[in-house]
Structure 1
Amino acid sequence: MDAFLMPLIGGLLIGLTTAAYLLLTGKVVGISGILAQALFSKDRFLPFLFVIGLIIGGSAYGILVEPSQPFPEMRSPLILIISGLLVGYGTRLGSGCTSGHGVCGISRLSPRSLIATAVFMSTAIITVLLTK
């Protein structure tokens, strides 16, 4: 039962959060867009709170619910920087991140988001099949 309960609660929280953000700001949730708003927009308060909430929420879950999980091993800082730059470039190239397209774009039946999410998922499946 627990294997189904946590993902269900997580999905409901994501849905409630995206709906609340849309109602409060009139903007669609996409992490890359919210991060850009938090860094470069005049109205930084809600985007900043959203990003802080992601960090605090994920950390609290890890500490309170999954304390027995080991912390991931340290990666090379150079690989992390290159990976982050590639993800950022792909986010701009794809006009949004996976969360924005997958959660909000699909719920709005956006053709661009449907195609983008199909490409993300196909690429992930192929990558896993080739590397495992």
Structure 2
Amino acid sequence: METAFTPIASLAGGALIGLAAVLLMLLRGRILGATGILAGVLLPASRYDWVWRVMMLAGMFTGPWVFLAISGQLPDIQVPAATPLLLIGGFLVGIGVTLGSGCTSGHGVCGIARLSPRSFAATATFMLTTGLTVYVIRHILGA
């Protein structure tokens, strides 16, 4: 599998995530942690809390359609894994998010920006585990 190097798209995406995180903190006083936002939709604290979370998720899901409106084509997304592997991976991510008290967006974007020691440790763990996983899958298992 070849990984495409897309510096402009990656920079734009990162800037938009950063902007969303800053705006959510400024307007709502909340941390942009995607799994925490989803958890708050599934188990809302109040109707008022539920509405902004649904709007945030709606914005995440409509991103490809905004890309279509701007570029005239949907993003090319390739998932080189079978559905059972995706389900197992999602389950493992859910366990990791629970054990780590947050996800990559909460810790990696917002926590590091707030100089949280816990977020530095969590993000280092995410990155090391990701690098090790890619190495094992690509170089040891040959997938």
Closer, same or farther: CA 4–108 of 1 in aligned 2, 3 Å: same
Question: Where does 1:28-67 land on structure 2 (aligned, <5 Å)?
Answer: 28-41=31-44, 42=46, 43-61=49-67, 65=71, 67=74
Tell me, what secondary structure is at the counterpart of 2:7? Answer: helix
Which of 10, 29, 33 lines up with 1:7 in the alignment?
Answer: 10
- CA–CA distance in structure 1, aligned partners of residues 88 and 14 of structure 2: 30
Amino acid paired to 1:5: I
Q: How many residues align?
A: 130
Decide whether aligned partners of structure 1 residues 116 and 20 sit closer, same or farther in structure 2, where only a CA change above 3 A counts. same
Unaligned runs of 5+ in 1: none
Are 2:131 and 1:121 aligned?
A: no
User: How much does 1:72 deviate?
Assistant: 3.5
Provide TM-score, normalisation by structure 2. Answer: 0.78
1:44 aligned counterpart, secondary structure: helix
Cα RMSD (Å): 2.5
Which one of the candidate residues 69, 76, 81 is aligned to 1:69?
A: 76
The alpha-carbon distance between structure 1 residues 129 and 84, as it changes in their structure 2 partners (threshold 3 A), is: closer
Q: 1:93 to 1:10 in 2, by over 3 A?
A: same
Q: Select the residue among 22, 27, 31 that pairs with 2:30.
A: 27
Whether contact under 8 Å (2:64, 2:74) holds in the other structure is no
Code of the residue aligned with 1:29 in structure 2: it is L
Identical counterparts, % of pairs: 42
- The 1:120/1:74 distance shift into structure 2, 3 A limit, reads closer
1:26-53 residue CA offsets vs partner (Å, 9 max, x unmatched): 1111011111112211121111110111
TM-score for the superposition, normalised by structure 1: 0.83
2 CA distance for matches of 1:51 and 1:84?
A: 17
